DNA sequence: CGTTGAGTTGAGCTCTGTCAATAGCTGTGG
DNA sequence: CCACAGCTATTGACAGAGCTCAACTCAACG
């Protein structure tokens, strides 16, 4: 199968909304964000992908153009698979098709949750859920945010200012301790209540 | 292939969030809505499906449980395909797998747009886009809403009250004429500007 | 140092959700 | 045939979450 390797510097666009989807990518190294922009320039992040993650496949199967923008957050190496060759391969390998179906299905799940968050939950609840889902949130040690807080805001569908304020409130109320990118979870049950929408941060 | 036919009265649940996804459905007749509920009971509609549409497939491929609720809006006849048989069939028929991939990809596209709407656009913009996308919005004849306005509110991520008010404003400003479920588009360019986020409904 | 970017904080404002009351329509049953 | 219940839709009053604009701090870096 023909695949082309591709290097992109931090901050560079991989593709933009509306571009023709001539194939899809796999992250070998680095980090890529997929996002939408509003007319005023606010940003909603749809995905953050790292090594091993494929992206842009939906454009290959559905229509022809990418529905969002892709930018490298760090210097990255990508593998590009041209459309035709990939469709061909999938046709020949049923297990590959099933794997692809599983990937897309999981992505639909995550989107459904994001929609639920944006429409039916408030920012403190989303943030609480996000913190609890962070790798390492189970241990007593502080969690370390892997991305700048502004990106987290974009992920949660809010602004850096609001994120900062809510984090402040959480720490005022003793739910967490914030030290730059290090966040220690102090009151897990309270965070869980927040995430479930059973509590306010009044 | 083993498929079971299934009749459900209006208002009846087909499945609920968290139920085990033992298979998927196809609508033969009627209408089914897929939705999420907030802790306070507000509702966000994810899909509205009619005759010919499959639903619940993602649960078959990804995890095991349905990520949302499904309720029949009208008396409906459904076809149920058990998981194992379907996976088997897809494995044997590559074209079927590709078709399924296309379905899921289109669904991802639509979800991405919904996320964009909820996060980056205001309700008037969403409503304008919705009206313009309605079948028959191209003609001079009035469009007829197929579902109650409360359902449209749930689809757009807002409440019936807000929807009503915005429709009122639009009609006050001469963008549309509203007569119950019949809506005539009077000022298409203005609606397009609204949908693009270039205008306010001040 | 000056500059740049990340993060925080304050003040103000607007959108939109909530609660409540009302009106119109439909179907049911006494 | 009428009263009443129930649903859809509309409108008003109100409150609050969160966005915007702006200033300021701090750390990293050339």
- A78-96 pLDDT per residue, tens: 999 999 888 888 888 888 8
Q: Is the pLDDT of residue A177 over 80?
A: yes
Q: Give me the CATH code for the B4-107 domain, please.
A: 2.60.120.10
Q: What are phi and psi of A153, to 5 degrees?
A: -60, -45
DSSP code for A136: T
| CATH, domain A4-93, list 3.40.50.1390, 3.30.420.310, 2.60.120.10, 3.90.1660.10 | 2.60.120.10
Q: Which token pair is A106? A: 């999981």
Contact (CB<8Å) B101/A90: yes
Domain with CATH 2.60.120.10 in chain A: 4-93
Could you tell me the distance in Å between the CA of residue A158 and the C1' of nucleotide C11? 19
Task: Count the neighbouring beta carbons within 10 Å of the beta carbon of residue B2.
Answer: 10
Q: Is the pLDDT of residue A202 over 80?
A: no
Q: Is the pLDDT of residue A174 over 90?
A: yes
* SS3 state of residue A36: strand
The separation between CA A182 and the C-alpha centre of its own chain, rounded to angstroms, equals: 20
Give the residue from B85, B137, B21, B34 showing the smallest Cα distance to A111: B34
Which of chain B's residues 28-47 bind strand D, using a 7 Å CB cutoff? none
Residue-averaged pLDDT of chain B: 93
Q: Is the pLDDT of residue B186 over 90?
A: yes
Domain with CATH 2.60.120.10 in chain B: 4-107
As a whole number of angstroms, the distance between CA B169 and CA B96 comes to 47
Say if CB A130 and CB A155 are below 8 A apart.
Answer: yes
Q: What are phi and psi of B154, to 5 degrees?
A: -65, -35
Contact (CB<8Å) A115/B38: no
For the B121-196 domain, the top CATH level (class) is mainly alpha
Tell me what pLDDT residue B1 has: 63
Per-residue pLDDT tens over the stretch B166-182: 999 999 999 999 998 99
Per-residue pLDDT tens over the stretch B47-60: 999 999 999 999 99
As a whole number of angstroms, the distance between CA B19 and CA B37 comes to 15
Query: Is any Cβ of chain A less than 8 angstroms from the Cβ of B90?
Result: yes
Highest mean pLDDT among A69-73, A88-92, B84-88: A69-73
- Any strand D atom closer than 7 Å to A123 CB: yes
Average pLDDT of B130-154?
Answer: 91
Q: Is the pLDDT of residue B27 over 80?
A: yes
As a whole number of angstroms, the distance between CA A58 and CA B108 comes to 7
Q: Is the pLDDT of residue B202 over 80?
A: no
Residue-averaged pLDDT of chain A: 93
Q: Chain A, 150-189: which have a CB under 8 Å from a chain B CB?
A: 157
Tell me what pLDDT residue A63 has: 74
Per-residue pLDDT tens over the stretch A2-52: 889 999 999 999 999 999 999 999 999 999 999 999 998 899 999 999 999
Q: Is the pLDDT of residue B95 over 90?
A: no
DSSP secondary structure of A171-187: HHTTSEEEETTEEEES-
Contact (CB<8Å) A90/B98: yes
Average pLDDT of B34-62?
Answer: 94
Tell me what pLDDT residue A1 has: 63
Q: Is the pLDDT of residue A182 over 80?
A: yes
Could you tell me the distance in Å between the CA of residue B159 and the C1' of nucleotide C16? 9
Query: Is any Cβ of chain A less than 8 angstroms from the Cβ of B96?
Result: no
């Amino acid at each position: 199968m023909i695949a082309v390797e591709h290097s992109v510097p931090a901050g560079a666009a991989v593709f933009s909304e509306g571009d023709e989807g001539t194939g899809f990518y796999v992250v070998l190294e680095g980090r890529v964000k997929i996002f939408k922009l509003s007319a005023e320039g606010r940003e909603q992040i749809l995905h953050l992908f790292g090594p091993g993650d494929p992206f842009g496949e939906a454009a290959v199967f559905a229509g022809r153009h990418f529905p969002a923008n892709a930018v490298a957050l760090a210097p990255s190496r990508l593998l590009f698979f041209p459309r035709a060759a990939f469709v061909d391969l999938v046709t020949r390998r049923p297990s590959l098709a099933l794997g692809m179906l599983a990937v897309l299905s999981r992505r639909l799940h995550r989107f459904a949750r994001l929609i639920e968050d944006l429409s039916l939950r408030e920012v403190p609840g989303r943030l609480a859920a996000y913190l609890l889902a962070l790798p390492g949130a189970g241990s007593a040690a502080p969690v370390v945010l892997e991305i700048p807080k502004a990106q987290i805001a974009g992920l949660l569908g809010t602004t850096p200012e609001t994120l900062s304020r809510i984090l402040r409130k959480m720490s005022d109320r003793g739910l967490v301790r914030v030290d730059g990118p290090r966040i220690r979870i102090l009151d897990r049950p309270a965070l869980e209540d927040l995430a479930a929408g059973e509590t306010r941060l009044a």
